[in-house]
Amino acid sequence: MAKNADRKTIVVEQIGSPIRRPGIQRATLIGLGLNKMHKRRTLIDSPQVRGMVAKIHHLVRIVDDEAGK
């Protein structure tokens, strides 16, 4: 029902290209729903997502959307 409404979210933006990167890093990008430069995804802030972002920290960044509101 309203379980997801009260969960924290993060916005992740792809800032690096997966060209000439190991296959596991490409798969992690796809797992986060990213596949093109500057694409953004809003994801639930969980330890699993944070771990995926940490593995490819050089290819993505966490966007601070609160500044724009």
List of the chain residues with pLDDT < 50: 68-69
Alpha carbon 32 to chain centroid distance? 5
The H or E element spanning position 63 is: strand 60-63
Query: What pTM was estimated for this model as a whole?
Result: 0.82
What is 4-68's CATH superfamily?
Answer: Ribosomal protein L30/L7 (3.30.1390.20)
Query: How is the chain split into domains, by residue range?
Result: 4-68
pLDDT number for residue 65: 67
Summarize pLDDT for 24-36 with one digit per residue, the tens: 999 999 999 999 9
